[in-house]
Structure 1
């Protein structure tokens, strides 16, 4: 890829700095900068942005930063630094919004079940805010309903993956015939085939709960970033906006 482009370089540096800080101040960093559910006491408005620089482990940040460099570099060279920044953070914000919207659905679905059983909303909030729950709740609804309810409230989102899924979509639409070599497949796959399949698998896992790539993945955050990336690329191409650089 040659010399690091400006936006990619700055994003890599900030992500690495956050990762190093997290290795020293893990619990406090996750509390302050991860994206918590808005009704959780740990939620702060800045987390909508800061969670994009947080990662859950070494392999998490390595894969994300490699994808950012590999797929983002040709886009920044085509668009310019400022346009790439705008696209990247727009996709990241879209990712956060869809992830939070889905969590609202799961939270309210579980809350309605508990309230209808005779527990007040304030009692439920008090219980789950202390990190607890009642095993009896699982007698009131399917296990997945209660699991999703508790996870929505208690599990924060971290990672640049949502923004990077937007970058993947933009790369696939800009360079559809580029051939990608994957570790787990012996043959190259064109971007126009690989990227839609990847997003489709995330959507499948998000809807069904079946973990294809492992547990603890915010699938709808990935889908949200991809969706915003697609809409922006579609609009830009339709209006010939893609030809304009923002240096």
Structure 2
């Protein structure tokens, strides 16, 4: 599993009075869904996860699958990344634009993953990759650590490395590892698109 963390402190360039409430609300909701998953996994998986065979009758799962995670490790690493990168993007572009990037990237990632996957899909990884992609455009100076690599990397290089690994594993394993590599890549592309549309270093407040 590849995990990332932000190591730079950008408090001096954040808009005053900026909010991170949407990011924290998403984290809280993901935790609540995981608690429900532990209580009744079949109900949560059936009604909230994304399944290509059922999506026409359950279109809401294009959104709700983002909040469902397979296990505690899946939840922990995604929420840690969202705490780092989601709050940073929300501070920079505002709540509305953050939510646009997050959900559009997650939905687009789910749609593209359905082209190659047949089983249940879940997780916020595609949405988080979109958030990272947007940050790579508007704040390329941010440095991150990709565990277990101990050297801080610029976020553009970090996401390029992650994208390369996703593409490699998608081609070589063809989904056998149970990871939504295409969702990651599609979410990243969506985030890069939004980052370009925001404009580098432009502030929304």
**Post-superposition offset of 1:177:** 2.5
Q: Distance in 2 between matches of 1:64 and 1:87?
A: 16
1:31 corresponds, among 46, 71, 76, to 46
CA contact (8 A) 2:19 2:94 kept: no
**What RMSD, in angstroms, separates the aligned Cα atoms of the two structures?**
2.5
Matched residues in 2 for 1:217 and 1:47: separation?
18
Task: Work out which of the residue numbers 205, 215, 224 in structure 1 matches 2:186.
Answer: 224
Deviation string, structure 1 residues 39-84 (Cα, Å, up to 9, x no partner): 3489511100110000000010000000001011121111111221
**Equivalent in the alignment of 1:171:** 135
Shift of 1:220: 0.4
1:84 equivalenced with 2:46 (yes/no): no
| Structure 2 gap segments, 5+ residues each | 1-8, 12-17
Structure 1 residues 183 and 97: CA distance shift in structure 2, 3 A: closer
* TM-score normalised by L of structure 1: 0.70
In the alignment, what sits opposite 1:235?
A: 197
Residue 35 of structure 1 deviates from its aligned partner by 0.2
The answer for the alignment partner of 1:133 in structure 2 is: none
Highest CA radius of gyration, 1 or 2? 1
Secondary structure at the residue paired with 2:147? Answer: coil
Question: Greater helix share, 1 or 2?
Answer: 1
Deviations 1:169-197 (A, max 9, x none): 11222222222234312322221211111
Query: Aligned equivalents of 2:111 and 2:149: distance in 1?
Result: 33
* 1:60 maps to which of 53, 66, 74: 74
Equivalent position of 1:244 in the other structure: 204
Structure 1 residues 233 and 41, CA gap change in structure 2 (3 angstroms) = closer
Equivalent residues, number: 190
Normalising by structure 2, report the TM-score.
Answer: 0.83
